[in-house]
Chain A
Amino acid sequence: MLNIENLHVSVGDKPILKGINLQVKPGEIHAIMGPNGSGKSTLSHVLSGKSGYTVTQGQVTYEGKDLTEMAPEIRAREGVFLAFQYPVEIPGVSNIYLLKAALNSIRKHQGLSEVDAMDFLTLIKEKVRLLEMDEKFLYRAVNEGFSGGEKKRNEILQMAVLEPKLCILDETDSGLDIDALKVVAEGVNSIRSPERSFVMITHYQRLLDYIKPDFVHVLAHGQIVKSGGPELALELEEKGYSWVENKQAA
């Protein structure tokens, strides 16, 4: 589904990603861990098409197509979803309005008709219940005045409604309390399918207790310095990042 080969990315003249290799197959869950500033969010932004980054080497294909050539909204319509580390507020635009507009633009891209108002309401209420949110959030302006945890939960609500194929979660677990973490994890698990893949960026083993990854990668200084199974996360928790970073240097 996603194939990243020797990806080098710079911001201005500053290289940030320095040769990333990663393959994600349908249905797989990949966890990416790594110290602050190692380039995790940068990777998620490059995959979703944020401006300001230059790919200097390597390539990224998504379902066989060159992802870097696609406009960000096309990537989204083709099923790439990013749950932001820092979700933005959009005053005046209600959550439900944004969700409907987003869903319809994706449906249109797929050659489907606009969603029927009643069907949409049924769908969205089901997802709201799944994430144990108050329906009132639907009518509030996107993320405006939401608490940190509420914003994260709102990202997952959008993901659940839009049903993307490749879900990139950038530190969705940061800022969630223990109960919220459980709810969000259940939300993610409920939309797991053999066709849907996840790339989860996290600092904490705890999330991986709820959502079991197939692979764990460690990103340091713009490179994946170690990959392994779920046990790698446990080892990291115990020994810290210096363990893998030093190993790389050695």
Chain B
Amino acid sequence: MSASAKEIEQLIGKEYKQGFVTELETDTFPPGLDEEVIHKLWKIKNEPEFMLEYRLKAFRHWQTMKSPEWAFVKFEPIDYQAVSYYSAPKRKEDGPKSLDEVDPQILEAYKKLGIPLDEQERLAGVAVDAVFDSVSVATTFKSKLKEAGVIFCPISEALREYPELVQQYLGSVVPTGDNYFAALNSAVFTDGSFVYIPKGVRCPMELSTYFRINAANTGQFERTLIIADEGSHVSYLEGCTAPMRDENQLHAAVVELIALENAEIKYSTVQNWYPGDKEGKGGIYNFVTKRADCRGDNSKVSWTQVETGSAITWKYPSCVLTGNNSIGEFYSVALTNNYQQADTGTKMIHIGKNTRSTIISKGISAGHAQNTYRGLVKVLKGAENARNYTQCDSLLVGDKCGAHTFPYVEVKQPSAQVEHEATTSKISEDQLFFCQQRGLSAEDAVSMIVNGFCKEVFKELPMEFAVEAQALLGLSLEGSVG
């Protein structure tokens, strides 16, 4: 007999294949957070003077703030004193100078994840920065990028090597007191990637950062800063995984993008943090602030995200369309299964004239999961002829899950055009039976239908990552039939 509602539930039971732990000697701070910890962090990272001030200011602000409660997610209050704010593989004085000095255990871990850091083995045309717990362990193709004038390095290194550049832009899109998690991140961020593309340069390869949480009871607070100078162009991809653990772990990142005149940034994310087990135990809390400023005229930023992991995802990659004629795009696939919760979407703030934004959101909900789209389109008074198009589709698999849509629109400029379309559909037993009658297993049928549903977003991903994302969706829906 064909897949009934019950079997559909079993179908989407997934196995997490990146759940292994790497045994390493680490330098780890004891749990707890106070000004002394921030001092220690600043010191161990050997940062310039201004950073201490920056971090302390953020910390003091954070202490006055409350954890947000408006999102459609439920979780126990986090004990921030039980978290360790720094964990790094033990290393020699200054850290590895080249790949040869990286702990082979770490190289092995990345290899197992399908991210060989060996430059020869790496896909031609992609440079990788690998962040392991609190620190960046390796960045590939650095010298080749340098020839083009591109800076791609861990942000901790950028703070030492290019302090003025970092100081000029850090916090200029997401200020220290922006929100609870951004303030915390500003106080305690440990590493992440820094990218600077000089004027008129088309970055010669895709840039990519791979985040890995390994240690237990630590939080990962990474910070990414990408600056595309006038007329430049860059495509950047971020991937993430973590071991399977029973406790929830916190990942509170901040990503800032700045596109100057005529510049273009394409930022793609394939997020596969450990989602927790079938009963909803464990998993990553992914509380992330991502924002782009299209600061220059004619600039463009595209966010593309495929979110399949994490116990809770709380993230709204946004675009502030400051420059005239600037363009913001948001393409999103968010899949939640079992007891996962996602509250995700975007904000498009139209400030400049003739600014345009497009939002395509595909939410897939299975098992007992809750999937929420939350989006804000705001058109300020000066944004003459601003245009927005939003399309927001939800797909339900089974009948115990939920999909919710909260579109907010604020328009202060009469010439603006804002369009919103939304649909909710369900994979029906008839569709599944039809596919099975043509010879497909129910599993393949679900995966085919889900992939079809996400097509518009996948086509925005760089080629090799689109393939990865499709495989990941298939995997996330993998399970046993009846």
What is A's interface to B at a CB cutoff of 8 Å? 48-53, 71-73, 76-77, 81-82, 84, 87-88, 90-94, 97-98, 101-103, 105-106, 109, 141, 158, 162
* Contacting residues, chain A, for B481 (C-beta < 8 A): 71
Apart from A71-B2, A72-B436, A92-B455: 7 A-B pairs, beta carbons within 8 A: A50-B2, A51-B2, A51-B3, A72-B2, A73-B441, A93-B451, A101-B440
Mask of B428-447 contacts with A, CB within 8 angstroms, 1/0: 11110111111111101000
* Contacting residues, chain B, for A109 (C-beta < 8 A): 439
Write the chain A residue with the least CB distance to B441. A73
Write the chain A residue with the least CB distance to B456. A92
Q: Cβ of A50 and Cβ of B433 under 8 Å apart?
A: yes
**With A48-B437, A73-B442, A81-B437: A98-B448 Cβ-Cβ less than 8 Å:** yes
Q: Cβ of B452 and Cβ of A141 under 8 Å apart?
A: yes
Centre residue among A51, A82, A94, A158 by max chain B CB count within 10 A: A51
What is B's interface to A at a CB cutoff of 8 Å? 1-4, 425, 428-431, 433-442, 444, 448-449, 451-455, 481
**With A51-B2, A92-B453, A101-B448: A76-B437 Cβ-Cβ less than 8 Å:** yes
Min CB distance A223 to B, Å, is 23
Rounded to whole angstroms, the CA-CA distance of A71 and B441 in the bound complex is 9
Q: Cβ of A88 and Cβ of B438 under 8 Å apart?
A: no
Q: Which of A73, A91, A94 contacts B439 (CB 8 A)?
A: A73
* Contacting residues, chain A, for B3 (C-beta < 8 A): 51
Write the chain A residue with the least CB distance to B433. A50
**With A51-B1, A102-B439, A105-B439: A72-B433 Cβ-Cβ less than 8 Å:** yes
Can you identify 28 A-B contacts, CB atoms within 8 angstroms?
A48-B437, A51-B433, A53-B1, A71-B436, A72-B437, A73-B437, A73-B439, A73-B441, A73-B442, A76-B439, A77-B439, A87-B434, A88-B428, A91-B425, A91-B453, A92-B449, A92-B451, A92-B453, A92-B454, A93-B448, A93-B449, A94-B452, A101-B438, A105-B439, A105-B440, A105-B441, A105-B444, A141-B452
Min CB distance A30 to B, Å, is 19
* Contacting residues, chain A, for B444 (C-beta < 8 A): 101, 105
* Contacting residues, chain A, for B455 (C-beta < 8 A): 92
Min CB distance A60 to B, Å, is 13
Min CB distance B73 to A, Å, is 28
* Contacting residues, chain A, for B441 (C-beta < 8 A): 73, 105
**With A88-B428, A90-B449: A49-B2 Cβ-Cβ less than 8 Å:** yes
Q: Cβ of A90 and Cβ of B431 under 8 Å apart?
A: yes
Min CB distance B2 to A, Å, is 5
Centre residue among A87, A93, A103, A141 by max chain B CB count within 10 A: A93
* Contacting residues, chain B, for A162 (C-beta < 8 A): 438-439
Q: Cβ of B438 and Cβ of A76 under 8 Å apart?
A: yes
Write the chain A residue with the least CB distance to B438. A102
**With A51-B3, A90-B431, A91-B453: A76-B436 Cβ-Cβ less than 8 Å:** yes
Write the chain A residue with the least CB distance to B427. A90
Write the chain B residue with the least CB distance to A70. B1
Q: Cβ of B435 and Cβ of A98 under 8 Å apart?
A: yes
Rounded to whole angstroms, the CA-CA distance of A49 and B431 in the bound complex is 14
* Contacting residues, chain A, for B425 (C-beta < 8 A): 91
Rounded to whole angstroms, the CA-CA distance of A162 and B428 in the bound complex is 24
**With A92-B449, A92-B455, A93-B448: A98-B438 Cβ-Cβ less than 8 Å:** yes
Rounded to whole angstroms, the CA-CA distance of A158 and B439 in the bound complex is 11
Rounded to whole angstroms, the CA-CA distance of A90 and B431 in the bound complex is 7
Min CB distance B331 to A, Å, is 15
Write the chain B residue with the least CB distance to A53. B1
* Contacting residues, chain A, for B430 (C-beta < 8 A): 88
Rounded to whole angstroms, the CA-CA distance of A250 and B96 in the bound complex is 95
**With A49-B2, A92-B453, A92-B455: A97-B448 Cβ-Cβ less than 8 Å:** yes
Rounded to whole angstroms, the CA-CA distance of A91 and B452 in the bound complex is 7
Rounded to whole angstroms, the CA-CA distance of A94 and B448 in the bound complex is 10
Centre residue among A71, A82, A141 by max chain B CB count within 10 A: A71
* Contacting residues, chain A, for B429 (C-beta < 8 A): 51
Q: Cβ of B1 and Cβ of A49 under 8 Å apart?
A: yes
**With A51-B4, A97-B448: A82-B437 Cβ-Cβ less than 8 Å:** yes
Q: Which of A82, A87, A102 contacts B440 (CB 8 A)?
A: A102
Min CB distance A81 to B, Å, is 7
Write the chain B residue with the least CB distance to A102. B438
Centre residue among B1, B438, B481 by max chain A CB count within 10 A: B438
Q: Cβ of A90 and Cβ of B438 under 8 Å apart?
A: no
Q: Cβ of B439 and Cβ of A106 under 8 Å apart?
A: yes
* Contacting residues, chain A, for B454 (C-beta < 8 A): 92
* Contacting residues, chain A, for B1 (C-beta < 8 A): 49-53, 71-72
Rounded to whole angstroms, the CA-CA distance of A158 and B434 in the bound complex is 12
Min CB distance A139 to B, Å, is 12
Min CB distance A143 to B, Å, is 9
Min CB distance A136 to B, Å, is 18
Rounded to whole angstroms, the CA-CA distance of A91 and B425 in the bound complex is 10
Q: Cβ of B434 and Cβ of A88 under 8 Å apart?
A: yes
Rounded to whole angstroms, the CA-CA distance of A102 and B438 in the bound complex is 6
* Contacting residues, chain B, for A93 (C-beta < 8 A): 448-449, 451-452
Min CB distance B436 to A, Å, is 4
Min CB distance B450 to A, Å, is 9
Rounded to whole angstroms, the CA-CA distance of A90 and B439 in the bound complex is 16
Rounded to whole angstroms, the CA-CA distance of A216 and B433 in the bound complex is 28
Rounded to whole angstroms, the CA-CA distance of A141 and B449 in the bound complex is 11
Rounded to whole angstroms, the CA-CA distance of A81 and B439 in the bound complex is 9
